[in-house]
């Protein structure tokens, strides 16, 4: 019963795991650019094998970062209902997209073809790559490093009036707030369960039951979130934080050779996987698909 309330352990985005690996020692700007490269490559890859191999590249980087794959994969538990919904939605809206191809199921208004079945798999692989890559960035980079990295990448836009430091700080606060929100959800669920609330089995296929069970969580959850935000504001004001002020940094980011090699290798692998003319899935599996 207790595992129904342990949401924080399934939230991988926003968690930092210090292992001292070579990935942790990379420049945060290089890691952010690497995340952008992976996301762009996955977005423009329409082949199942390209998306699958790019996902394998992300998991390989997680192994290089000495992060257990079981912990990385744990982030899919909370995203599983969303992935299932997107998978079914794409099957429904892509039905009949290949009228001249092989048809597996036909009801007139709904036709399940080979193409309409391959597309949802590619979409799910893309979302998995996005989740894993973003989680990997926060697992290997501290909040301060992320803020300095985003600010450094946005620094050229300051001449156009863009507040790079403030934007970087807002993004990092929002990203690190996800584990805090999960922790507050756990606390509210345990408090309501002690008063007779039912959070036993999650019936995602029964939206009426899900709304009835989880709707009472929203008001106390938002109140606690606003309270945490107010505490953060008071802490920043107590430290005399002023937005837009020119400030110096204790740690200056200096790009090194390993950062360039890592970015070059990742860019080459991503371009090769995204641009290679991979055969279709049914051509590899033959009569199995």
Task: Name the E strands within the chain.
Answer: 103-106, 111-113
The per-residue pLDDT for 140 is 92
pLDDT of residue 201: 52
pLDDT tens readout for residues 6-62: 666 667 777 888 888 999 999 999 999 999 999 999 988 888 888 899 999 999 999
Query: Rounded distance, CA 79 to CA 83, Å?
Result: 6
pLDDT at 204 over 60: no
Answer left, alpha or beta for residue 66, where phi above 0 means left and psi between -120 and 50 means alpha: left
Higher-confidence residue: 282 or 275?
275
Question: In angstroms, rounded to a whole number, what is the distance separating the alpha carbons of residues 222 and 233?
Answer: 16
Residue 156: how many CA atoms within 13 Å on its side-chain side? 1
To the nearest whole number, what is the mean pLDDT of the chain? 79
Please report which confidence band the pLDDT of residue 1 belongs to, taking 50, 70 and 90 as the band edges.
very low
State the SS3 of 88-146: HHHHHHCCCCCCCCCEEEECCCCEEEHHHHHHHHHHHHHHHHHHHHHHHHHHHCCHHHH
pLDDT digits (tens, 9 = 90+) for 146-163: 888 888 888 888 888 788
Q: Which two tokens stand for residue 152?
A: 């450094």
The residues spanned by each domain of the chain are 2-175+250-288
pLDDT on residue 117: 74
pLDDT score of 4 = 55
pTM above 0.85, yes or no: no
Q: What is the pLDDT of residues 112-146, one digit of tens each?
A: 776 677 778 888 889 899 989 998 998 999 888 88
| 176 confidence band (pLDDT: 50, 70, 90) | confident
Q: Looking at residue 11, what is its pLDDT?
A: 73
Q: Does the pLDDT at position 274 exceed 80?
A: yes
Percent of the chain clearing pLDDT 90 (strictly above)? 19
pLDDT in tens, 258-267: 999 999 999 9
Token pair of 142, please?
A: 């501290």
């Amino acid at each position: 019963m207790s595992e129904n309330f342990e949401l924080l352990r399934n939230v991988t985005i926003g968690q930092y795991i210090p292992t001292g690996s070579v990935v942790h020692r990379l420049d945060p700007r290089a890691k952010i650019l690497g995340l952008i490269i992976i996301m762009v490559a996955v977005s423009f890859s329409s082949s199942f094998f390209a998306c699958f191999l790019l996902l394998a590249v992300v998991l390989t980087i997680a192994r290089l970062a000495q992060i257990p794959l079981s912990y990385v994969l744990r982030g899919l538990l909370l995203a599983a209902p969303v992935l299932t919904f997107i998978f079914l939605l794409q099957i429904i809206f892509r039905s009949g997209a290949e009228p001249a191809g092989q048809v597996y199921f036909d009801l007139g208004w709904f036709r399940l073809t080979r193409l309409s079945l391959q597309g949802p798999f590619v979409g799910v692989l893309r979302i998995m790559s996005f989740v894993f890559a973003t989680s990997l960035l926060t697992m290997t980079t501290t909040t301060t490093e992320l803020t300095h990295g985003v600010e450094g990448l946005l620094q050229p836009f300051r001449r156009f009036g863009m507040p790079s430091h403030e934007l970087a700080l807002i993004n990092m606060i929002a990203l690190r707030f996800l584990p805090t929100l999960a922790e507050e959800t756990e606390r509210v669920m345990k408090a309501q369960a002690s008063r007779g609330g039912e959070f036993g089995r999650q019936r995602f296929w029964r939206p009426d039951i899900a709304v009835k069970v989880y709707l009472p969580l929203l008001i106390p959850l938002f109140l606690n979130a606003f309270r945490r935000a107010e505490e953060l504001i008071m802490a920043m004001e107590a430290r005399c934080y002023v937005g837009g002020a020119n400030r110096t940094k204790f740690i200056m980011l200096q790009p090194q050779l390993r950062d360039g090699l890592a970015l070059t290798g990742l860019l080459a692998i991503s371009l090769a996987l995204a641009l290679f003319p991979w055969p279709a899935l049914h051509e590899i599996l033959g009569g199995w698909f």
